[in-house]
């Protein structure tokens, strides 16, 4: 979720300069948003080490790959 911070004074000033029909549209959107409620959830902080031991890596992981791997040829 993206959070937009705007000062109340800046908002009122911006609304003040809108044509009347656009003011009505802005007011309707603000009312519908406040009726729905705005949910502001911060992402949970990650905890290091929770996945420890859940994966493993082969002992030959750093060994060179065979030529067949690069050429796409199979035996």
**Domain tally for the chain?**
1
Per the CB < 8 A criterion, the answer to whether 43 and 1 are in contact is no
Looking at residue 34, its pLDDT comes to 62
Q: Answer whether residue 49 is part of any domain.
A: yes
Higher pLDDT, 51 or 10: 51
Report the percent of the chain where pLDDT is more than 70.
Answer: 80
- Does position 66 have pLDDT exceeding 70, yes or no? yes
Q: For the residues 38-61, what does the mean pLDDT come to?
A: 84
Prediction pTM value: 0.35
Q: Answer whether residue 12 is part of any domain.
A: yes
Give the side-chain half-sphere CA count within 13 A for 32.
6
Q: Answer whether residue 1 is part of any domain.
A: no
């Amino acid at each position: 979720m993206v959070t937009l911070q705007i000062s109340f004074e800046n908002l009122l000033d911006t609304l003040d300069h809108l044509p009347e029909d656009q003011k009505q549209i802005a007011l309707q959107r603000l009312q519908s948003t406040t009726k729905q409620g705005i949910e502001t959830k911060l992402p949970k902080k990650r905890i290091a080490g929770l996945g420890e031991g859940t994966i493993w890596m082969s002992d030959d992981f750093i060994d060179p790959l065979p030529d067949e791997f690069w050429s796409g040829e199979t035996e």
